[in-house]
Amino acid sequence: MKFIERLHYKHPNWGIENLMLHVSLITGIVYIMAYGFRTNIETFLYLDRAMIFQGQIWRLITFIFIPPTPSVIWIAFTLYFYYWIGTSLERTWGTFKFNAFYILSMLGTILAALVFGGAYEGFYVNLSMFLAFAYLYPQVEVMIFFFIPIKIKYLAYVDAGILLLNFILGSFTVKLSIIASLTGFLVFFGNGLYLSLKMFVMRIINKIKHRGLY
């Protein structure tokens, strides 16, 4: 993280402004082409090691544009959510740091694909972005389906549970995809998570000592 801070200090304007606006718009176009015009465009976008080694290097980027759902209602909600969370993080961190977070999550997934093979998409990369937002702003309320208010931390608990369930029940590729997509999150928040866990364990130990059980 210190390395990223130094780069941010030296080059604060590096990066793509409104990155998630571009990601959401392109994902929306892919959705229209895939489900509106019933093409098989998605098969050319997955992060697939075999295809990359055959020269299809665009897959190193295009996997993040694969729509996470075929439902038109859910895709509209999801893309708006991606955009809102991404722009909020960009306002908090600045363009460079947000780009760094997103690219680190992508690079972790790319490395997993190149080393272990398998077909990957960007669903878990974007989910890690949501977890970052929830970590920073747990008390923020969002409107589910635009009329049901709920705090972001409760959605994060649900998503963490889904991640855990997918990790337990999913294939080896799914497990790798989940771990790899958390690269950016761990780089940015790993130290804080470690300190929080350490303090939690110490409080438990102190309570045990106080009760004379240790």
- Asked whether the predicted pLDDT for residue 139 surpasses 60, the reply is yes
The beta strand positions in 104-140, using DSSP E, are 119-120
Residue 148 — pLDDT band, cuts 50, 70, 90? confident
| Domains in the chain with CATH codes | 2-188 (1.20.1540.10)
- Asked whether the predicted pLDDT for residue 213 surpasses 70, the reply is no
Check residue 149 and report its DSSP letter: E
The number of beta carbons lying within 10 Å of the beta carbon of residue 76 is 12
Entry pTM: 0.87
**How is the chain split among helix, strand and coil, in percent rounded to 5?**
75, 5, 20
Q: What is the pLDDT of residue 1?
A: 64
Q: What is the pLDDT of residue 146?
A: 66
Residue 56 — pLDDT band, cuts 50, 70, 90? very high
Element (H, E) at 144: strand 141-144
Q: What is the pLDDT of residue 85?
A: 94
pLDDT digits 0-9 by tens, 172-196: 999 999 999 999 999 999 888 777 7
- Average pLDDT of the residues in 85-108: 94
pLDDT digits 0-9 by tens, 2-46: 667 676 667 667 789 999 999 999 999 999 999 988 889 999 999
